[in-house]
Structures are given as C-alpha cells and as structure tokens.
C-alpha cells in the first residue's frame, strides 16, 4: 500500500467558504468518478478547522508555519499499480482532468504533495476511525520537517524507533485513540506529480496523524499536561518546528474500496 499526501492552500481569490464548498461538492465527486482510472482505492478530504487549539499547539512549540486549508489523501494498492494506472491512456486523461480542476481552487505552487508509507503506532480495533463533521472526533494533522543537520533517514529512524514508543506508552493518558506515522518515501514519481502542478513548496519528511475525542479531553489533567510536555520535548530532537505545521481537521470520505 502506498499513500499520497497533498497539502492544500486555497487560491487567494477564493474565500474559505467557497474553497471548501467547491472542494467538497465539485472536486470530490470528480475524483470519485475517476478513482478507478487513476487506481485509487481510497480518497479522503481533511478540512482544516478554525480552532483556537491550532494556535495553542503552535505557541507551545515556539511558533510554527500557518496551518494548511486541508489535505487530500489518496491510497493506492502499490507503487506499481499507481504507475500502471497513470501510464494508461484513460489514467492520463483522468489525471489531467483532475489537475485542471485543482487549479480552479488550489494555489498549486504552494501546495506540496509526496508519497508515503504508513506506520501505525496506536491502533483501535477495527481501524476505521473517521473524524466526521457532526461527531466529536477530530483528527490532528502534523506535517513535519527535520533539522538541517539531520538526514531524512536519520530523522525518520528516530521518529519511528524512539518517538513512536514514547507516544504509545502515554497514549491512554493523553486521550489518543489512534496514532499513525506517515513517512515520506523519496521517489521519482513524486517529481512528476510536482511538475504537473508547478509545485514550488518543498515536501515534508512525512506527517503524524492523531485521532481523539474533543468531548473526552475537555478537562486538562496533570497526566495529560505532563504527557504533552514530554511529547514536545522529544519532538524537538528531530523536528524543526519553525518549518512544520499542525492543525485540527474533519474528514470527508469519498472513496473507500479497502
């Protein structure tokens, strides 16, 4: 399984309400209609919330990049399946139509995308948590970049081998229902996707995603405060906060053929 992460910034001439309306009501169905042609097994939109927690999380880390407006997430059976789909005539036509439509509401130059492998850390059974619009679940999105003195491999190794176990140990006390590390893989296919969109913003080394219930963690307990403090202290060992971002969002599932 391989996954595409596509962080979106809206065009400046699009008001937030119109951006989200078009993305959900026009572009989402277009992707769903072309899912088979591009080989997509799952397609989810994560719409960013205008929530005071976003600023609080950034402040706790000494300042971060502004949140993106949302994320498009697409899953494929494998890299080979993705290449085969995009190499077909109908796949190429579908991909071109999607990029053409993206340009109507997305600032393509400032919207990075890359390919990933998932590394689940805290998983419920079943694994189908979705932070839907009308429930109390929310999804925290944390695209991150490493420090300049670290290589991608070094930072990802620490993230997986050291930070992951720390979060797993304190997940219950922190109110974490699910936690997944999504690591970027360096791939020439990424460059082709970027060139098709004129992307200028550099990709991240991956992102962390966490689901939790806002209703269940309203009270800030001492255990939760200490867990958050330990997490931030450890994040600083491999994350450049000034070049990373964090926000809360809600999920909208358009394709799910798992």
Asked if residue 62 has pLDDT above 90, the reply is yes
Instruction: Say whether pTM exceeds 0.85.
Output: yes
Question: How many CB atoms neighbour CB 103 within 10 A?
Answer: 13
By C-alpha distance, which of 62, 7, 110 is closest to 241? 62
* Structure confidence at residue 128 (pLDDT): 85
Among 14-28, 176-190, 203-217, 227-241, whose mean pLDDT is lowest? 203-217
* Structure confidence at residue 215 (pLDDT): 80
Q: Give residue 184's domain range.
A: 2-256
7 burial via Cβ count (<10 Å: 0-12, 13-18, 19+)? buried
Asked if residue 258 has pLDDT above 80, the reply is no
Domain count, the chain: 1
**Which DSSP string corresponds to the chain?**
-EEEEEEE-B-TTS-HHHHHHHIIIIIHHHHHHHHHHHTEEEEEEEEEP--HHHHHHHHHTT--PPPPSEEEEEEES-HHHHHHHHHSHHHHHHHHHHHHHHTTTB-GGG--EEEEEEEEEE--SS------TTSSEEEEEEE----TTS-HHHHHHHIIIIIHHHHHHTHHHHTEEEEEEEEE---HHHHHHHHHHT--SPP-SEEEEEEEEGGGG-S--HHHHHHHHHHHHHHTTT--GGG---EEEEEEEEEE--
Measure CA of the first residue to CA of the last residue in the chain; give whole Å. Answer: 11
**Contact between residue 153 and residue 87 where contact means Cβ atoms under 8 Å apart:** no
Mean pLDDT of the 75-92 span:
96
Query: 33-50 pLDDT, tens per residue?
Result: 999 999 999 999 999 999
Asked if residue 170 has pLDDT above 80, the reply is yes
In CATH, what number is assigned to the domain containing residue 8?
Answer: 3.30.70.100
d(CA 203, CA 15): 25
Q: How confident is the model at residue 220 (pLDDT cuts 50, 70, 90)?
A: confident
Residue 79 Cα distances to 63, 86, 88, 116, angstroms: 36, 11, 14, 10
Query: 10-33 pLDDT, tens per residue?
Result: 999 999 999 999 999 999 999 999
* Structure confidence at residue 125 (pLDDT): 78
């Amino acid at each position: 399984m391989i996954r595409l992460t596509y962080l979106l910034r809206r065009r400046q001439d699009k008001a937030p309400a119109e951006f989200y309306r078009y993305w959900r009501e026009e572009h989402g169905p277009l992707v769903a209609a072309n899912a088979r042609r591009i080989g997509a097994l799952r397609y989810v939109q994560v719409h960013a919330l205008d929530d005071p927690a976003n600023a609080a999380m950034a402040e706790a880390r000494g300042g971060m990049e502004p949140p993106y407006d949302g994320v498009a997430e697409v899953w494929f059976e494998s890299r080979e399946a993705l290449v085969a789909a995009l190499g077909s005539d109908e796949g190429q036509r579908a991909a071109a139509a999607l990029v053409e439509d993206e340009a109507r509401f997305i600032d393509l130059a400032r919207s990075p995308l890359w390919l990933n492998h998932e590394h689940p850390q805290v998983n419920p059974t079943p694994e189908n948590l979705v932070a839907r619009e009308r429930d109390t679940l929310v999804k925290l999105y944390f695209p991150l970049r490493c420090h300049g003195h670290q290589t991608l491999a070094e930072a990802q190794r620490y993230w997986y081998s050291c930070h992951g176990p720390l979060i797993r140990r304190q997940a219950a006390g922190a109110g974490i229902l699910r936690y997944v590390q999504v690591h970027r893989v360096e791939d020439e296919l990424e460059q082709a996707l970027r060139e098709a969109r004129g992307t200028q913003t550099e990709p991240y080394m991956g992102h962390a995603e966490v689901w939790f219930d806002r209703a269940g963690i309203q009270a800030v307990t001492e255990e939760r405060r200490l867990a958050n403090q330990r997490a931030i202290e450890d994040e600083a060992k491999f994350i450049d906060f000034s070049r990373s971002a964090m926000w809360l969002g809600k999920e909208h599932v358009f394709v799910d053929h798992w």
